[in-house]
Amino acid sequence: MITQTPTFKGWQLFSLLALLILVMSALAVALQPDLIEGLRSAVRATARSSFALFLAAFTASAFVVLVPSSFSKALVRERRFIGLAFAFSHFVHAVLIYAYGQLNTEFWPVRTVIDNTPGTVAYVFILLMALTSFKGPAHLLGAKAWKVLHTTGMWIIVAVFAYANFKRIPMNAWYVLPFGITCAAIAIRLVGKLAQANKRSQIRQPLS
């Protein structure tokens, strides 16, 4: 188990993650002899990096309660920058999808409004959450509305990830794994919330 506190913090951590995402994307394209296949590989790679970064931010508060350690505390402390790195990864993902669709003319015509709606809704929340991760917009929004936006956004995004992986299981059984991981992350988050509530209730109870 990793327990050492990450060396990179704040914007350094974000910059490192962003650089790794760009390098990974470039390599995914370069290692394929065909540009269209290279873009397709990069789309898949950024989908996975986004998935991993999102789950790290999504489960951070639960892990610090359920498995307290220097690492889980650092995960919570750096959750804002992990979340911003997730937004950056998904922005690169969107750019790659657009480029892939431009070169592969059969991509967009076969997609329906139903196919595009979950991803579009998720991207709206990702954009709003990223913008309100900065002090100015967060202050304008207000603490209560900020909490509602970010809580709602997190659950919508995790639901979109779960749906995206679940619907692909008939095409490739490998998608059972990310779907199962998503379900496990949801369970961890809920158990963490219950543990937090239980902890608060114990603190509030008067000593007999």
Is 1 part of any domain?
Answer: no
| Total domains, the chain | 1
Q: Are 44 and 32 in contact, with CB atoms under 8 Å apart?
A: no
Q: For residues 102 and 105, what is the distance between their CA atoms, to the nearest angstrom?
A: 6
114: pLDDT confidence band, cut at 50, 70 and 90? confident
**Residue 2 falls within a domain, yes or no?**
no
pLDDT given at position 1: 42
Amino acid at 183: C
Q: Is residue 117 part of a domain?
A: yes
Residue 205, domain member (yes or no):
no
- Beta carbons of 75 and 60 less than 8 angstroms apart: yes
Decide if 71 is inside a domain.
Answer: yes
Residue 120 has pLDDT above 70, yes or no: yes
- Give the tens place of pLDDT for each residue, 134-179: 999 999 999 999 999 999 999 999 999 999 999 999 999 999 999 9
The verdict on residue 203 lying in a domain is no
Question: Band of the pLDDT at 2, cuts 50, 70, 90?
Answer: very low
Q: Are 160 and 118 in contact (CB under 8 A)?
A: yes
Containing domain of residue 85, as a range?
10-198
Closest CA relative to residue 87, chosen from 25, 21, 143, 149: 21
